[in-house]
A = this chain, B = another copy of it.
Amino acid sequence: MSSSLKDVAARAGVSARTVSNVVNGSARVSTQTRQRVQEAIDELGYRPNLAARNLRAGRTGVIGLAIPELHSPYFGELAGLLVDEARRRSWTVIIDQTHGDAEAERRLLTGDGGRAMDGLIISPWALEAQEVATTARPLPVVLLGERSPQGLADRVAVDNVAAADEATTHLLALGRRRVAAIGLQPHLHNGTAEQRAEGYRSALRRAGVTPKPRWERSVTSLHRQDGARAMAELLDGDDGDTPDAVFAFTDELALGALHMAHARGLRVPDDLAVVGFDDIEDSRFSHPTLTTVSPDKRQIAERALQCLADRIYSPENEVPALDLTIPHRLVVRGSTGPGAQAH
């Protein structure tokens, strides 16, 4: 098997203590001894055993990342940024996909891993934010997304209501009046959908447009095919009152809607203007390119890790839970670009 600290000590003719000091660069060791120890380390190919180190230190250097789905572009991009940022801080990331399942979300929180991690970043779908916060205790947790833990834990999110309002207002400013929304999720008490719907409605009302229930389409999940299906429902309306604009609550939904619009022979943006939410990579290359709300994902990742670091390294600072709002901006592209002005 592989060699231990004791082996190194024996080989270098010093005590374990000294080897430990060399490895951790902690106390002062004479240059001569250090060199001898280093040689022994190299010769033996010694690697400190993390399990033992953690057992002693009571800290693992590992954080958990619980995310609904890795394959969706938004979460894929976010996970990538979070992993990189964690690495910068010398943390290892264990990742888990919850698929929005309550049991799966609880699994990590109840420490199924057994103090296997120092902290957790979670984007809950099924669980109430408050349940997440209380269940996790005393594990430091940062929540990502719309559901507020009401001061029981740190949270990082964009202002969804404002962002949805902006997106809708943008469509209205083009002169569109029959503005539909795709992405409600009444079966989930999902803050995301609710907040975006709220922003959508408030923008309509401010413009003097009465929200129309038929134009608010629900979806089961947030993927392209759900968007395509919802778009089909909108176009199949028998009252001939089809929308001239759509605000989709995610880019994936918007791309699905775009797909269906093409299939039905609609011209985008002339016949139908479309706005999405997330600014995933695809949206910059779709046909037409997609106007979308762009949250600052990098900042989400950085702030989330910063919060976690503060909780882990300074638990004694009983700082009240933070609620960080990350900036976003509306990126105007082809799907509402030139040609989108209503006639």
Contact = CB atoms under 8 A, between A and B. Distances in A.
A97 B86 CA distance: 11
Interface stretch (A54-62, A190-198, A212-220, A236-244): A54-62
A287 interface: yes
Interface in A39-91: 47-55, 60, 62, 69-73, 76-77, 79-81, 83-84, 87
A43 to B, nearest CB: 16
A145 interface: no
B287 A286 contact: yes
A335 to B, nearest CB: 12
B70 A76 contact: yes
A55 B47 contact: no
B224 A47 contact: no
Interface string A134-158: 0000100000000000000000000
User: For the side of the interface on A, what is the size category?
Assistant: 35 or more
A262 B287 contact: yes
A73 to B, nearest CB: 6
Contact of A111 (B47, B138, B262): B47
A119 interface: no
Nearest to A48: B114
Interface in A249-306: 255-256, 258-259, 262, 281-282, 284-287, 289
A314 interface: no
Contacts of A79: 70-71, 76, 95
Given A77-B71, A281-B71, A83 B55 contact: no
Contact of A93 (B87, B95, B262): B95
Interface string A97-114: 100000000000011011
Name the residue among A55, A80, A228 with the largest chain B CB count within 10 angstroms. A80
Contact of A282 (B54, B87, B113, B255): B255
Contact of A287 (B62, B92, B259): B259
Contacts of A110: 47
Contacts of A71: 73, 76-77, 79-81, 281
Interface of A: 2, 47-55, 60, 62, 69-73, 76-77, 79-81, 83-84, 87, 92-97, 110-111, 113-116, 138, 223-225, 228, 255-256, 258-259, 262, 281-282, 284-287, 289
7 contacts: A62-B94, A83-B96, A223-B281, A224-B281, A259-B285, A286-B286, A287-B287
